[in-house]
Each structure stands twice: as C-alpha cells, then as structure tokens.
Structure 1
C-alpha cells in the first residue's frame, strides 16, 4: 500500500517524500511546506518492535492524532498500534499490509495533516465533510428523539464542524444507518461524566433524511464498504457517500 499512500499524498497535498536517513534509506517522511512539520512517516518495522509475533518487517505509517479519545478508539482496531519510536501520546502506527482498509488509512492521513498544520493553515475553512457517527440505544433513544423533533443536541465529535454532514449509525439491535443530519452548531458548553461516557461539549444536528432499517445495515457496510466497526466518529468514504446520496 506504500505506493497508494505516496500517490494519495502527492495528489491531494502536492508533497513529495523525503528520505533523510542514510541508515534507513527506505524510510520516507512527508512534511508541510510552510512549517516543515512531519505529518507522515512511512517505514518497514519488525513485527516484534510493534508488540506483534515474529520479526518479519511490516510496512507501516506513523500519523499524528491529537484527540486522546479518538486515538484510544483507533487503538482498539486491528492494524492500528501505539506509535513506533515516536510520542505515543500523540502518534499512532498504522499497518499498510491490508489490515486497515485503504480508505481508512487515507482518512487518518488527512487527520494527521490537519493536526500538524500551521495555525494559519488551520484557520482556512476546509470543505464541508461527511461523518459516520454511532448512537448507542442503551444510552439514548435517538429514534424516539427524531420522531419527536427534527433537531437534537449530540456529543461533539472531534473535528466535526458547522456545516458538516453526519450520518447516524444506530447500534444493536438496529445496527444500521438511519439518519442524515446537518451540523448547525458546535462546541456548545456541556458537562457530563459517567463510568462509560464523558461529554464536554455538544453539537446540534438537524434531520435531513431518514433511511430504512434494511438499507445500510452493518452487514452491508462491512461487506461493501469495508467498515468493520463504528465505535466513534469517522469520515465517510467517497463510495459510501455516493450510495447514501442516491
């Protein structure tokens, strides 16, 4: 997947790889043009160095994920590990051996690019983004909420901004995408803490469309779009986004 990663970064960010180490001539670094900060380090790492069995070199990329909650969620996924040789409080290592779906790798590259961008670059408005956000019926009856009103306040997701689109995935026993919403307000101050959930801010979602329970089931998301879990907010791939708009 190294070539796909290189092509993606060069096409989207117009950035070529640098190879700064003589001892590791295949280790490639991608930097921002303005602040020269790294946002991706591609390398081959012995499996044992990543806490995995064996010493076979594994292709991997180190990426920066500043949001602690999002990072902890990512580390539960197969193929995403604490960063090799970098600050584990801010970086992760993502395997490029096919364990992590290509579209998901690209999403994480985008997140790392944004996390390492200069303040000036971050201030520039990015295009509206589409997100897949989970709702657990054990904690909140989102179906009833949208039956009673067309707007709800929801836990603020890292990186989600006003104008973004949120596709709400309702967990078991429904296990399907049921709603498309527009984010109309973000960073609403709020505090809630329990054994299972901590909320520090809310966002307002306005309902735009409903989907049938059999349209976008978890089984379909897994088989057709490579989505293996919906544990926290994640970007929507182009393929899934196109289907959701039809």
Structure 2
C-alpha cells in the first residue's frame, strides 16, 4: 500500500518528498504543506492522509483498515493500513483527495 501511494505521488504536480529528523517518516508536501505521511507502526506500514471530515467518518465506518489519523487531527486525517478492505484504486483516490484538499487551500500564487 505504501508503494502504491508513494509511486502515485509522482503524477501529482508539485508533490515533494521530505525526510525530517526521523528517517522513519516520509512527508509528502505540495508547496510546503503536508498532504501525506508514511511510516511503520509496530508491525504494520501505514499511510496518513488528509480527508474531508464527513468523508473521513464514512470511510472509517466502511473500512476496518481506515482509522483516525495517527499523530494528526483525528477529524481531518485518516490512517490507512494494508488489509483486505483497502484496494489500489481506493488508495489512489484517497491520495488524490488529500492532495486536492491541501492544494486547493493554498493561495492562488502557490497552487501547482
């Protein structure tokens, strides 16, 4: 799932990968704003994405492998874990949605 999400960001205009002090975290940004994080929790790789609050709640209800955002605002972020309920199409859609939520909130001069 992390490979799908990470590879998919190559198609997103202005998406950059950044490593902070902790090399275990990958931060994906657009114009300096984070739209996706990836790390490994004990025994499980995760992808953390921004989501519309109403959509995030529905996703958590529909998919056992989608939980509130790890280390992020639980209302506006979701965590994806590899599992049977999250397929490649859904991962790509959620990455796109997260990217658009962040990119569309940028001032016009900073939008990709």
Matches within 5 A, 1:146-157: none
Q: 1:11 Cα deviation (Å)?
A: 2.6
Q: Which has the larger radius of gyration?
A: 1
Query: For 1:18 and 1:98, how far apart are their aligned partners in 2?
Result: 29
Query: For 1:6 and 1:83, how far apart are their aligned partners in 2?
Result: 18
After superposition, give the CA deviation of every residue in 1:92-119 in whole Å (9 maximum; x if it has no partner).
1011355410110110111111111114
Q: Look up the SS of the partner of 2:41 in the other structure.
A: strand
Of the candidates 36, 43, 46, which is equivalent to residue 39 of structure 2? 43
Give the number of equivalent residue pairs.
108
After superposition, give the CA deviation of every residue in 1:136-169 in whole Å (9 maximum; x if it has no partner).
xxxxxxxxxxxxxxxxxxxxxxxxxxxxxxxxxx
TM-score by length of structure 1 reads 0.40
Of the candidates 83, 90, 94, which is equivalent to residue 76 of structure 2? 90
CA RMSD of aligned residues (A): 2.2
Query: For 1:87 and 1:70, how far apart are their aligned partners in 2?
Result: 14
What does residue 6 of structure 2 align with? 6
1:72 to 2:29 alignment: no
Structure 2 vs 1, CA of residues 98 and 60 (structure 1 numbering), >3 Å: closer, same or farther? Answer: farther
Q: 1:40 Cα deviation (Å)?
A: 0.1
TM-score by length of structure 2 reads 0.83
Name stretches of at least 5 consecutive residues in structure 1 with no aligned partner.
47-56, 125-246
What does residue 19 of structure 1 align with? 19
Moved over 4 A (4+): none
Name stretches of at least 5 consecutive residues in structure 2 with no aligned partner.
none
